[in-house]
């Protein structure tokens, strides 16, 4: 194997694989990137058996061939090389020689024969998708995904086509303490034939978000029984779906409450950040006290101190006092659009429901805390 490639092209490919390869693994080859030189293209592949990516990049191929090399080491080397062409030559025992200007590197790799195969996507049906729409849906849900490995079915975002929703698709995430639900109109939803939704794991969504953030180019999405596959020109991302039944999340969303608080999103967010500085490091517990046109945000921590701040609101109902985890509200407010938000509360034992004013397509539910 021998080829030459421009640094900027190689760096794009190596950057894409960094979040996928496993740093510590019982299978050393999963820390490597598969390099294949063929027909004027360099093909880079990485997988951790759950998420994988393959991309093709223009190169001058002198001799076709393949091998795998440590992805992180190669990325670090290429980042520090000067702009211009970089040459690769495979040597004996899976060593590879890398030349850039007057710099010469020799690194050891592994045989490509042992590298895991990626799913076949040639005969799958793909739908064009707007990257901004998909990126927005991920940003509004991924923070609510559970990290509790004993509840594996909650370790991802539930993606479905709601019944009688026309061209609407939905993403849902929950960790048992909070719930995020976002709906979006997407043309391809009319052609989806889901009998039920699918669960897309957090890591896969994080890698998809990175690919979407590249912006330029046409994006397509496809599904089979085990994977969601996203294509962007000559790059293909594979995400293995999580098996299992997603809980009936709609039961968690309480009916509309008459006790509705309307307030400025930025002012509420700023106050939460300030007051939570003195909250318990683990629980991030704060108390919300709503009275006529005033919301008091307070916390008391015997080890550090106490703090409170008042924010102007639109509210004329009875006094409400309820405890929440400040971080949950901060995450939601950071993801939410619009200047004004509403919080619906019933009592200190009932969940709080948050929406942006005038937008029913993004709903977040937060469970209360005892304070």
Identify the pLDDT of residue 121: 86
Contact, 227 vs 197, CB < 8 A?
no
Residues 131 and 237 reside in one and the same domain: yes
- Domain assignment of residue 119, yes or no: no
What range does the domain containing 289 cover? 253-366
Q: What is the pLDDT of residue 336?
A: 97
Give the total number of structural domains in the chain: 3
Residues 190 and 160 in one domain: yes
Of 169, 142, 170, nearest in space to 156 by CA: 142
In this prediction, residue 163 carries a pLDDT of: 80
Query: Does 68 reside within a domain?
Result: yes
pLDDT at 347: 87
Cβ atoms of 201 and 209 within 8 Å: the answer is no
Residue 121 counted as domain residue: no
**pLDDT score recorded for residue 24:** 80
Retrieve residue 277's tokens: 């500085």
Residue whose tokens read 């690769």: 88
Burial code of 164-198, b = ≥16 C-beta within 10 A, e = fewer? eeeebbbbbbbbebbbbbbbbebebbeebeeeebb
**Mean pLDDT, 10 residues at a time, the chain of 371 residues:** 98 97 88 97 97 98 98 97 97 97 96 93 88 96 95 96 83 97 86 82 97 90 93 96 95 91 98 96 94 96 95 95 97 97 93 96 96 81
Q: What is the pLDDT of residue 28?
A: 92
Q: Which of 249, 268, 290 is the last residue of a domain?
A: 249
Are 234 and 259 members of one domain? no
- Last residue of a domain, which of 221, 249, 277? 249
Domain end, chosen from 94, 114, 134, is at: 114
In this prediction, residue 191 carries a pLDDT of 74
Q: What is the pLDDT of residues 166-219, one digit of tens each?
A: 788 999 999 999 999 999 998 877 777 776 899 999 999 999 999 999 988 899
Question: Is 371 within the bounds of a domain?
Answer: no
Both 257 and 244 in a single domain? no
Same domain, 244 and 279: no
Q: How far apart are CA 208 and CA 286, in angstroms?
A: 34
Asked, for residue 227, whether it belongs to a domain, the answer is yes
Q: For the range 166-173, what are the long-range contacts, defined as Cβ-Cβ under 8 Å and sequence gap of 24 or more? A: 166/190, 169/137, 170/197, 171/137, 171/138, 171/140, 171/141, 172/141, 172/246, 172/249, 173/141, 173/142, 173/143, 173/144, 173/145
Beta-ladder partners of 351: none
**Greatest Cα pair distance in the chain:** 79
Helix (H, G, I), strand (E, B), or coil: what is residue 274? Answer: helix
Q: Give me the CATH number covering residue 107.
A: 3.10.150.10
Structure tokens at 175: 């960790």
Are 78 and 158 contained in the same domain?
no
Residue 332: CA atoms inside 13 Å, Cβ hemisphere, count?
30
Q: Which residue has the tokens 């929406």?
A: 355
Domain contains 238: yes
Assess whether 210 and 318 both reside in one domain: no
Is there a single domain that holds both residue 264 and residue 232? no
Which residue matches tokens 């093709």?
56
Q: Is residue 312 part of a domain?
A: yes
DSSP labels, 219-267: EEEEE-SSEEEEEETTEEEEEEPBPSPPP-GGGTSPPP-S-EEEEEHHH
137 and 201 in a single domain? The answer is yes
User: Cα separation of 368 and 170, whole Å?
Assistant: 25
- Same-domain check for residues 305 and 224: no
Beta bridge partners of 369: 323
Are both 245 and 348 inside the same structural domain? no
150 and 105 in a common domain? no
Distance CA 164, CA 55 (A): 38
- Evaluate whether residue 351 is within a structural domain: yes
């Amino acid at each position: 194997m021998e080829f030459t490639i421009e640094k900027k092209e190689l760096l794009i490919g190596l950057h894409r694989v960094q979040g996928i390869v496993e740093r510590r693994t019982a299978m050393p080859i999963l820390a490597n990137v598969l390099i294949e030189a063929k027909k004027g293209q360099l093909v880079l592949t990485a997988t951790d058996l759950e998420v994988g990516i393959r991309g093709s990049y223009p190169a001058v191929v002198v001799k076709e061939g393949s091998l795998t090399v440590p992805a992180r080491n190669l990325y670090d080397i290429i980042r520090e090389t000067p702009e211009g062409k970089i040459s690769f030559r495979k040597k004996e025992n899976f060593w590879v020689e890398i030349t850039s200007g007057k710099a010469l590197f020799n690194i050891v790799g592994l045989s490509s024969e042992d590298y895991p195969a990626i799913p076949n996507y040639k005969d799958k049906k793909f739908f064009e998708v707007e990257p901004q729409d998909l990126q927005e849906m991920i940003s509004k849900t991924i923070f609510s995904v559970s990290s509790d490995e004993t509840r594996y079915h909650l370790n991802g975002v539930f993606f479905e086509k709601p019944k009688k929703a026309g061209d609407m698709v939905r993403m849902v995430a929950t960790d048992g303490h909070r719930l995020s639900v976002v709906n979006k109109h997407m043309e391809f939803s009319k052609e989806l034939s889901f009998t039920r939704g699918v669960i897309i794991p957090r890591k896969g969504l994080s890698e998809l978000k990175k690919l979407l953030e590249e912006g330029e180019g046409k994006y397509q999405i496809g599904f089979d029984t085990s994977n969601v596959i996203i294509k962007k020109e000559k790059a293909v991302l594979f995400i293995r779906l999580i098996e299992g039944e997603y809980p009936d999340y709609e039961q968690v969303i309480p009916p509309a409450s008459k006790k509705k608080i309307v307030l400025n999103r930025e002012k509420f967010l700023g106050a939460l950040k300030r007051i939570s500085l003195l909250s318990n490091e683990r629980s991030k517990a704060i108390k919300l006290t709503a009275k006529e046109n005033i919301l008091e945000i307070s916390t008391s921590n015997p080890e550090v101190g106490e703090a409170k701040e008042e924010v102007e609101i639109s509210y004329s109902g009875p006094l409400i006092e309820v405890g929440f985890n400040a971080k949950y509200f901060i995450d939601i407010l950071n993801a939410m659009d619009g200047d004004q938000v509403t919080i619906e509360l019933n009592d200190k034992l009932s969940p709080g429901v948050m929406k942006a004013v005038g937008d029913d397509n993004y709903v977040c539910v937060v469970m209360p805390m005892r304070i």
